[in-house]
Amino acid sequence: MPELPEVEVSRLGITPHLIGQTVAKLTFRTPKLRWDIPKALKNIEGQVIRNISRRAKYLLIETDAGSAIVHLGMSGSLRVLDAEIAPSKHDHVDLKLTNGKVLRYNDPRRFGAWLWTENGEHQVLDRMGPEPLTNEFDASYIAAKAVNKRVAVKQFIMDNKIVVGVGNIYANESLFSAQIHPTRPAGSLTDNEWLRVVKEIKQVLDTAIKQGGTTLKDFAQADGKPGYFAQELRVYGRAGEPCPSCTEAIQEQKIGQRNTFFCDTCQH
């Protein structure tokens, strides 16, 4: 599933091709993805695209009339192509521009979403925590949220109400780099440990964005190239392999129904 770095990489990839362009036509080849596609999305036709922003894992294609909200789901991707290129089997949405280009949305599993907002507000954007790469997300903020919390720290940092966009891959990697065991209760971390966790979350996400995201199965950048952060993974998906720090075997267990990878020796 594309996580925050992959969504940010997609935003960076499509933005230069869309900003300032006029939408000629919006075409849907399916009435429903994860949710029904609202007819109000047609309001984007004839509008100039002013900005492409991101909130958590949602992209907002902003115009004066409102914004299309796009979620890539588990297997979605966005490509900017020449409009005359015929759509393939899983190309469900075309945002055609007057310059002859098209933003094409492909989603084999159809678990993504295209929604509409006139004022920037929508229920899918409600009750979200701060963005992890902003100053709003710091050690004092998350330490205060963690007081008396018994939930495992890995689940805690993956909770979008606490901080958005720290998906499973990056939670595993951040906790390993911070030397924090993923099963520890969130309320048990000290202020200094939260400083390490926040620092590593920011570092891991920033590096992943610079590397073009992580390609495991479905994700590709807007130009079709894979993300290269998979080459940087130190524990995720490496159960049984030697820890890169101490050579003990990487362990795996389920935490909150998600595969979790860690080193019992290095993480405390």
149 is in an annotated binding site: yes
Residue 34 has φ and ψ, to the nearest 5°, of: -65, -40
Give the closest residue to 253 by CA, choosing from 152, 167, 144, 103: 152
Catalytic-residue membership of 3:
yes
Catalytic-residue membership of 118:
no
Catalytic, out of 2, 5, 132, 182: 2
71 is in an annotated binding site: no
Catalytic-residue membership of 79:
no
> Would you say 232 and 154 are in contact if contact means Cβ atoms under 8 Å apart?
no
Backbone CA torsion sign across 13, 14, 15, 21? positive
Catalytic, out of 96, 202, 238, 258: 258
Backbone CA torsion sign across 234, 237, 238, 240? positive
Catalytic, out of 11, 57, 79, 154: 57
- Burial label for 91, CB within 10 Å (0-12, 13-18, 19+), is buried
Give the closest residue to 107 by CA, choosing from 88, 121, 122: 88
**48 DSSP 8-state letter:** B
Binding-site annotation, residues: 90, 109, 149
Binding-site annotation, residues for DNA: 90, 109, 149
Show which residues are catalytic. 2-3, 57, 258
